[in-house]
Amino acid sequence: MNFEEIQKYVRPEEWSNLQTFLAELRIAGILHLEEHLELRVSNGYIIALNIFKQIPYLPETISSFQHLTHLTVRTSETPKFLDTLSKITHLDLAGNNLNEIPQIPKSTTSINLSYNNLEKIPDHILNLQIQDLEIRGNRIRNIPENLPQSLIRFDLKNNQIRTIPQELFEIPHIYSINIANNSVHELPELPENSSLFWLFLAHNSLTTVPDTINNLNALAWMDLSNNTISFLPNSIGKLGRLQVLNLSNNEIREFPDTIRLSALRKINLSNNRLKAIPPSIQQAPKLEELSAQSNGISSIPKEIQYLKQLKFINLTNNNIKRIPSAIGNLNALNALYLSNNHIENLPNSFQNLSNLHTVSLNYNTFTHFPPQLTTLKNITSIEIAYNSIPDIPAKLNSITSLKSLKIAGNPINAKTVKTKLYKIPYVDLRF
């Protein structure tokens, strides 16, 4: 940072304050701090002072910066004099290993206390008009019921939370809640809430989802992955504004056949115990990504044909034996992953997938190369390794878009194939 350049934009008294502040830290042994400072100036005053280097303490001269609105401090000693900065709105004290938090200016609306050593949310913070409160990576066990009613974003990821009070969901303008990576085992009865947009509860100990989940009627993004949920209420299908739903790595055996997720774009059901995809999937017409690998799914419902915006399907590692001809109606499909199943052939309609770029059919039961794959004019990658295919058609050479062909682990004459498929840039023939 060129301090001489900054001097041109800072009032003389403010520049003097900055020099005094740096001089005091030099006495404490902190040299070249200028290289670890980020400053922002407005009307000749320093309004943002972000210190990204660890300092032993915050000098009292910080009080001279009376126009500061944004402050970042990295110090292992509880900083003093913060309450003298009456215009502070954004305060970042993350990564300091602090056991306690000092008095904070009443003007503060955004606080980051992540990665300290806190066991509770400081009481004096609860009395502020905080909108953005981030306290990741501490040792907090409880969420107080009297949270600021001004909260918009609340982030307690990586703590030791076991219960969530209903009052959190009653905050009138709460927009984002992140309590992932905790020990939450149950959600409260959820009240009507028309503001909550993001809900992150991944990596907890949840076993159920409450029937009242549909009361969160503005919810657009919900992550409940990596819990032990085994049952989903029908009411989850009534979240009409939900766009992204992650339920991967749970113990779900059945997805409700009452899906009415008209705004849903992405759903991840991977690593559960599902036996089927419900036909009501057609009630999610905006779906673009469907991931359900590593379940026990035995078939693909023909109703999938109504998902005209579907671009990505991953059903790897299931028990699928047959692909329905209805799949040929998925004109937007770009990528299809069906490895580790029991598929023997492809339907003729497969050749209608004109926008398909990637197809993965490794570890299935093909005994011949599917001729439908030779008609895909925009395909760039074909994986059909570890099947029982004795020969590869030379017609693949005519697909100019094809860049990668993986056919390892098939009983193929490698020398013959290399000669036949000389136009394809990458051919994997390993056994």
User: CA angle 172-173-175, nearest 5°?
Assistant: 130
3-state secondary structure (DSSP) of residue 286: coil
Residue range 227-235: average pLDDT? 95
Res 2 pLDDT > 70: no
* pLDDT of amino acid 35: 78
* pLDDT of amino acid 3: 64
**CATH architecture of the domain formed by 298-431:** Alpha-Beta Horseshoe (3.80)
Q: What confidence tier does 108 reach under pLDDT thresholds 50, 70, 90?
A: very high
Q: Are strands 37-42 and 45-51 parallel, antiparallel or unpaired?
A: antiparallel
Question: In the structure encoding, which two tokens stand for residue 375, read together?
Answer: 């008609």
Question: In the structure encoding, which two tokens stand for residue 347, read together?
Answer: 């339907």
- On whether the CB atoms of residues 36 and 13 are closer than 8 A, the answer is no
Res 395 pLDDT > 80: yes
Q: Which residue has the higher pLDDT, 260 or 138?
A: 138
- On whether the CB atoms of residues 176 and 201 are closer than 8 A, the answer is no
Q: Where are the domains of the chain?
A: 298-431
* pLDDT of amino acid 413: 86
CA–CA separation, 366 vs 344, rounded Å?
A: 4
Residue range 86-102: average pLDDT? 96
pTM higher than 0.85, yes or no? yes
Q: What confidence tier does 431 reach under pLDDT thresholds 50, 70, 90?
A: low
Mean pLDDT over each residue of the chain, to the nearest integer: 94
Long-range CB pairs of 21-29, under 8 A, 24+ apart, other chains included = 21/59, 21/61, 21/62, 21/64, 21/65, 24/59, 24/61, 25/55, 25/59, 28/55, 28/56, 28/57, 29/56
* pLDDT of amino acid 134: 98
The percentage of the chain sitting over the pLDDT mark of 70, rounded to a whole number, equals 99
3-state secondary structure (DSSP) of residue 327: helix
pLDDT, tens digit, 9 for 90 and up, residues 281-304: 999 999 999 999 999 999 999 999
* pLDDT of amino acid 76: 87
Res 256 pLDDT > 60: yes
Residue range 15-24: average pLDDT? 90
Res 360 pLDDT > 80: yes
Task: Annotate 314-331 with b (16+ C-beta within 10 A) or e (fewer).
Answer: bbbbbebeebbebbbbbe
* pLDDT of amino acid 53: 86
- On whether the CB atoms of residues 37 and 19 are closer than 8 A, the answer is no
* pLDDT of amino acid 429: 86
pLDDT, tens digit, 9 for 90 and up, residues 112-131: 999 999 999 999 999 999 99
pLDDT, tens digit, 9 for 90 and up, residues 30-73: 777 777 888 999 999 999 999 888 889 999 999 999 999 999 99
